[in-house]
């Protein structure tokens, strides 16, 4: 019988910082539910609140928090949005495999090389969304053929999953954009589908972090309650306000991600 999984010990942290982290988790859950990218807020908040914690504990705790909010948002969407759960789960399975492959190659790739490439891609995405006001606001009407579904599983699931394991930032946003383009979904349905895919990838990553004792479960449990509330609120707002609202939030998140990557590149 192998050794039992280790359990991370909760570090000393002030009540004020716990409140700040919980509020950050709520805001991140809202952003993630609407269009993805909640990690842009949650990860820096955890790094601020846990300055002396190993990076693996920060990442593991982030996954433990995020999977709760993402699951709540996915359930909220699935009840009211026209989501094909089977297709979403197949894409999620491919994304899980892709993220594992990306993580395997991550050690040999420099993030300093990837950041400028991703910034250029995001600038192109922002320009495309702004120049195409109808993108994702109404269904394109094209039939979702078997070929498109396979393309979504291989390229969207496997490709973006690989990126998630290799680098990570903006994965949820890329999922929404890719699902909109490949499967001709409106932005609300694409966000709903992306949430189910994210649950699959988060579950795999969390299992690995948990096995290695890299999750601060007490802190994660407190933050997860707020992340769940934010995620469910974000999903309801996206369903109520529609694709135009999601498009506006999408542009804000894309430019925020560009700014963060630019700052990281400059700092490096």
Residue-wise pLDDT for 134-144, tens only, equals 666 655 455 66
Structure token digits, residue 178:
């890719």
CB 87 within 8 A of CB 238: no
Averaged pLDDT, 90-116: 76
Q: What tens digit of pLDDT does each residue of 157-208 get?
A: 999 888 877 766 678 888 888 898 888 888 888 888 998 998 888 888 888 8
Q: What is the mean pLDDT of residues 68-93?
A: 89
Between 115 and 62, where is the model more confident?
62
Q: How far apart are the first and last CA of the chain?
A: 44
Q: Output the pLDDT for position 184.
A: 85
Of residues 18, 28, 261, 37, the one with CA closest to residue 171 = 37
- Percent residues over pLDDT 90 in the chain: 24
Give the model's pLDDT for residue 68.
94
Model pLDDT, residue 143: 62
Q: What is the pLDDT of residue 139?
A: 58
111 or 239, which is more confident?
239
Query: Which tokens hold the place of 83?
Result: 């989501």
| pTM attached to this predicted model | 0.78
Q: What is the pLDDT of residue 259?
A: 83
Nearest alpha carbon to residue 193 among 114, 89, 65: 89
pLDDT at residue 60, as a whole number: 85
DSSP 8-state code for residue 169 = T
| Cα 20 to Cα 28: distance, rounded to the nearest angstrom | 12
Question: Confidence band (pLDDT; 50, 70, 90) for 228?
Answer: very high
Res 94: pLDDT: 94
- What are the structural domain ranges in the chain? 15-267
In this prediction, residue 25 carries a pLDDT of 95
For residues 165 and 31, the model is more confident at 31
pLDDT at 237 over 60: yes
Angle of helix 217-241 relative to helix 55-80, nearest 10 degrees, comes to 30
Model pLDDT, residue 113: 66
Sequence-separated contacts (24+) of 210-215 with Cβ below 8 Å: 210/5, 210/60, 210/64, 211/5, 212/5, 212/6, 212/56, 212/60, 213/5, 213/6, 213/7, 213/8, 214/8, 214/54, 214/56, 214/57, 214/59, 214/60, 215/8, 215/57, 215/60, 215/61, 215/63, 215/64
Q: What is the dihedral of CA 235, 136, 203, 112, to 10 degrees?
A: -120
CA of residue 158 relative to chain centroid, distance = 15
Higher pLDDT, 112 or 64: 64
pLDDT at 236: 93
**pLDDT above 80 for 249:** yes
Segment holding 226, helix H or strand E:
helix 217-241
Q: Tokens 């433990």 — which residue?
A: 64
Cα separation, 249 vs 24, whole angstroms: 17
Mean per-residue pLDDT over the chain, rounded: 83
Q: Are 181 and 23 in contact (CB under 8 A)?
A: no
């Amino acid at each position: 019988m192998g050794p039992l999984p280790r359990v991370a010990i909760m570090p000393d942290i002030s009540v004020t910082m716990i409140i700040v982290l919980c509020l950050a988790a709520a805001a991140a859950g809202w952003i993630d539910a609407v269009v993805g990218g909640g990690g842009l807020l949650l990860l820096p908040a955890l790094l601020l609140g846990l300055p002396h914690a190993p990076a693996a504990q920060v990442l593991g705790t982030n996954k433990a928090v995020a999977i709760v909010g993402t699951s709540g948002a996915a359930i909220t969407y699935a009840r009211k949005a026209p989501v094909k759960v089977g297709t979403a789960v197949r894409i999620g399975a491919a994304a899980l495999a892709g993220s594992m492959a990306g993580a395997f190659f991550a050690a040999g790739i420099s993030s300093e090389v990837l950041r400028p490439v991703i910034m250029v891609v995001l600038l192109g995405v922002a320009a495309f969304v702004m120049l195409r006001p109808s993108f994702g606001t109404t269904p394109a009407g094209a039939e979702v053929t078997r070929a498109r579904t396979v393309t979504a599983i291989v390229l969207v699931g496997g490709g973006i999953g690989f990126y998630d394991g290799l680098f990570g930032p903006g994965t949820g946003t890329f999922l929404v954009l890719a699902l909109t383009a490949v499967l001709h979904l409106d932005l609300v349905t694409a966000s709903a589908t992306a949430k189910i895919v994210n649950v699959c990838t988060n579950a795999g990553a969390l299992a690995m972090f948990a096995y290695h004792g890299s999750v601060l479960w007490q802190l994660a449990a407190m933050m997860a309650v707020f992340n769940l509330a934010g995620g469910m609120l974000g999903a309801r707002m996206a369903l109520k306000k529609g694709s135009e609202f999601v498009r506006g939030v999408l542009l804000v998140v894309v430019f925020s991600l560009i700014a963060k990557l630019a700052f990281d590149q400059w700092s490096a």
